[in-house]
Amino acid sequence: MTAPPAVNGHTVHNGLKPGAIPGRARVSRRGGRIRRRGLWLGALGVAVTLAAWELCAAYGLVDQMLASRPSQILVAGRDYFTTGTGRRDLLVSGTEFLAGFGLALVVGLGFGLAVGWWRWLDQLTEPLVSFAYASPRIALVPLLVVWFGIGLGSKVAVVFISAVFPIVLSTRTGVRTADRALLTLARAFDANRRQIFRTVILPGAVPSIVTGVRLAIGVGLVGMVVGELIASSEGLGYTILYAGNTFQTPLMFVALFVVSGAGVLMTAAVRAAERRLDRWRPDGHA
Amino acid sequence: MPELRLDHLTIDYPARDRGPAYRAVGGVSLTVAPGEFVSVVGPSGCGKTSLLHAVAGLVPAAAGTVSFGGTPIRGPGPERAVVFQHASLLPWRTVLGNVAYGLELRRVPRREARARARAMVELVGLGDAASRYPHELSGGMQQRVNLARALAPEPAVLLMDEPFAALDAQTRDAMQAELLRIWAASRTSVLFVTHHIEEAVFLGDRVVVLSPGPGATVRECVPVPFDRPRDTALRRTPGFVALADHVWSTLAGARDRKAPHERANLETR
Ligand SMILES: Nc1ncnc2c1ncn2[C@@H]1O[C@H](COP(=O)(O)OP(=O)(O)O)[C@@H](O)[C@H]1O
Ligand SMILES: [Mg+2]
């Protein structure tokens, strides 16, 4: 037999522990080093930008009134979360986002799987879905306010209509692009449709679904902010608008950064979950 | 004992645009006795995969029948298992998980499925790699998993579709010897399809030579007289070379169909 001796040869040659898989160990260790370097470089980029911003404002190269400066933003941020409306805004906006996004996740996955699996359902709904997807859904906010009022409901609806489409489309694609060879394999073992769905379609669709979920986080947050800009009296989006209108530029940046930070954190969480789920994929995918 | 019988098996693929259907296989008859290893050799594109998939119940027969132990075959069934040309492993399952796959689909209890899969993984020599994922395996190792997965539910007939075609020559030779060892241990019958003449002769009890498509038929059925167990050195004996040469000329459609295989018989005795 040829393969195990070759593996052992490698093991000895590379000085790895016996039983280690040389390919995987080597690749993922280098992958880890590159990831760590990425973190450092990213932090450096942020630090340089903030420093440049601060210096430009300090030496009067840009108008502080308009551009603010990081040190002021820091102070405004502290005030916002101690004496200001920060925590309340976070609660309000967080509730809107999580409710809308959760709904989009459930509906998007369910509908995406259904149209991916049943051809006729896809044909029935495809024109509507394409049309709705292509339309600027954010323009529906005034109408949603009429339907659901100025409170939580309209914002949940905005987040939902923003986030549901990427999830539906990527889920459908994931189901549709199932590996034909694996479908044939399952059929050869006399698998029924449920078994095929569970063992071939669903696991094969995961990478595509995760991509859709990541996209949905971004557009969902945009939906949340726009909803609050148009019709709200609290929340992060409302604070952005209010601070802008009252020339509290630092506060405006604080609220903006909280939204961006939440987006970055959630995307990172999805990425981490994906890495755990996708241990089977070759290294080096996005 | 049940035997696999193909009786004037014909396979058509519907044409696009209302043209006539494409006849891939045009009336192939052959039998595979219990425990027998039958090689089917034919040029690429002659309909070997179609033939095998029809026996597997994945493709319908346009005419003729496939039967097992006298019962006609209409779809996939537990007495047959396919080793696909491309390993077709579930990339999100480990070696062990892939080998257990067929057992799970047949609702073998989880614990028992794992145990049987484990034994199969050992049999094909992948004991140390049981927890690896397919992308961490070489092509030869992937085909071992493919083979173990097919054998795990203990089918009566193994249907193999050029499983070694994508391997380098050395690995291929090693895998052929491995296959014979594993087959001897499992005692299933094998219908083994290939375009590789030497492989067909080395492995088979008989070599069925197909004509090129469309409408492939059986040109000749060549008995292979060499004793088992066979080892790689057999390939270099004059008898083997002569028999392979005979299959080659049959395949090429040459007129000359006399001496070589009789000579092969004499020289091995
Ligand atoms: N699904 C299909 N639809 C139409 N034609 C097919 C299909 N599968 C195979 N064929 C045709 O049938 C012939 C035999 O194919 P195949 O059985 O794959 O041959 P082989 O395995 O011997 O290379 C080829 O000409 C191929 O183009
Ligand atoms: Mg083929």
B50 lines ligand 1 (CB under 6 A): yes
Short-list B11, B13, B10, B42, CA closest to B27: B10
Render pLDDT for A173-209 as a digit per residue (tens, 0 to 9): 999 999 999 999 999 999 999 999 999 999 999 999 9
Return the pLDDT at B260. Answer: 47
Whether A166 and A250 share a structural domain = yes
CB-CB under 8 Å, A184 with B58:
yes
Ligand 1 in reach of B248 Cβ (< 6 A): no
**B24: Cβ contacts below 8 Å, ≥ 6 apart:** B11, B12, B13, B47, B50, B213, B214, B215, B216
Interface mutation vs chain A, best among B49, B52, B58, B88, most A CBs within 10 Å:
B88
Could you tell me if A74 and A56 lie in one domain?
no
Which residue(s) pair with B159 in the sheet? B82, B191
* Total CB pairs under 8 A between chain A and B: 77
Mean pLDDT of chain A: 87
Cβ atoms A103, A161 nearer than 8 A: no
Contact state of A181 with B86 under an 8 Å Cβ cutoff: yes
pLDDT of residue A277: 79
Range B1-77+157-165+188-269: architecture per CATH: 3-Layer(aba) Sandwich (3.40)
Q: What is the mean pLDDT of residues A275-280?
A: 79
Asked if residue A31 has pLDDT above 80, the reply is no
> pLDDT of B215-229, one tens digit each?
899 999 999 999 999
Same domain, A92 and A50: no
Q: How far is Cα B47 from Cα A211, in angstroms, rounded to an integer?
A: 40
B117 contacts: CB under 8 Å, gap ≥ 6: B96, B97, B99, B100, B103, B148, B152
Q: CB within 8 A of A274, min separation 6: which ones?
A: A207, A210
Ligand nearest to the CA of B25: 1
Q: How far apart, in whole angstroms, are the C-alpha atoms of residue A171 and residue A13?
A: 44
Record the pTM.
0.84
A117 shares its domain with A246: yes
Instruction: For A253, list phi and psi in degrees, rounded to 5.
Output: -65, -35
Q: Are residues A52 and A164 in the same domain?
A: no
Q: Where are the domains of chain B?
A: 1-77+157-165+188-269, 80-154
CA angle B220, B226, B229 (to 5 degrees): 130
| Domain boundary residue, one of A13, A30, A62 | A62
CA A275 to chain centre: 14
| Chain B nearest CA to A213, separation (Å) | 20
Per-chain mean pLDDT for chain B: 91
A139 and A281 inside one domain: yes
- Alpha-carbon distance of B162 to B176, in angstroms, equals 11
Query: What single letter denotes the amino acid at residue A68?
Result: S
Q: For the residues A1-25, what does the mean pLDDT come to?
A: 41
Q: Which of A36, A38, A68 is nearest to A50 (CA)?
A: A68
For the Cβ of B44 lying below 6 angstroms from any atom of ligand 1, the answer is yes
How many Å lie between the centroid of ligand 2 and the Cα of residue B200? 15
Residues A135, A178 within the same domain? yes
Establish if B133 touches chain A: CB-CB under 8 angstroms: yes
- Does A136 share its domain with A246? yes
Instruction: State the pLDDT at residue A18.
Output: 43
Residue B155: is the preceding peptide bond cis (ω within 30°)? Answer: no
- Residues A155, A188 within the same domain: yes
Contacts of B7 (CB under 8 A, 6+ apart): B29, B64, B65, B66, B67
- DSSP state for residue B91 in the 8-state scheme: T
Cα–Cα distance between B114 and B138 in angstroms, integer? 23
Verify that A139 and A190 share a domain, yes or no.
yes
Q: Which residues of B touch A2 (CB under 8 A)?
A: 140, 170-171, 174
Instruction: Give the residue on B whose Cα is nearest the Cα of A5.
Output: B128
pLDDT category at A29 given cuts 50, 70, 90 is low
**Are the beta carbons of A231 and A141 closer than 8 angstroms?**
yes
Domain with A94 in it: 69-285
Q: What's the CA-to-centroid distance between B65 and ligand 2, angstroms?
A: 21
pLDDT of the residue at B1: 66
User: Which CATH number is A81's domain given?
Assistant: 1.10.3720.10
Integer CA distances (angstroms), A187 to A159, A184, A201, B178, in order: 41, 5, 13, 27
CA separation for the pair A46, A53 (Å, rounded)? 11
Residue at which a domain ends, from A62, A77, A94: A62
Would the pLDDT of B15 be above 90?
no
Q: What's the domain count of chain A?
A: 2
Task: Please determine, for residue B256, whether its predicted confidence score (pLDDT) is greater than 60.
Answer: no
A177-186, A197-206, A217-226, A271-280: least confident range: A271-280
> What's the pLDDT at B18?
80
Q: Are strands B189-194 and B157-161 parallel, antiparallel or unpaired?
A: parallel
Strand order in the sheet with B22-32: B22-32, B4-13, B63-68, B71-72
* Bridging pattern class, strands B4-13 and B22-32: antiparallel
Cα(B216)–Cα(A233) distance, integer angstroms: 78
Buried b (16+ CB within 10 A) or exposed e, A143-152: ebbeebeeeb
Q: Write out A104-122 in H/E/C secondary structure.
A: HHHHHHHHHHHHHHCHHHH
> Do residue A270 and residue A177 come from a single domain?
yes
Instruction: State the Cα–Cα distance between residues A70 and A257, nearest whole angstrom.
Output: 11
Could you check whether the bond before residue A70 is cis, i.e. omega within 30 degrees of 0? no
Place of tokens 């905005």: A158
Give the single-character DSSP code of B196. Answer: -
Structural contact between residues A57 and A67, judged by C-beta atoms closer than 8 angstroms: yes
- H helix and E strand count, chain A: 13, 0
Handedness of CA A46, A49, A55, A57 (dihedral sign): negative
In sequence order, the β-bridge partners of residue B191 are B38, B159
- Of A62, A81, A97, the residue that ends a domain is A62
Under the banding of pLDDT at 50, 70 and 90, the label for residue B265 is very low
**What ipTM goes with this model?**
0.89
Q: Is residue B153 within 8 Å of B132, Cβ to Cβ?
A: no
Same domain, A130 and A171: yes
Residues of chain B above pLDDT 70, percent: 94
DSSP-derived 3-state class of residue B71: strand
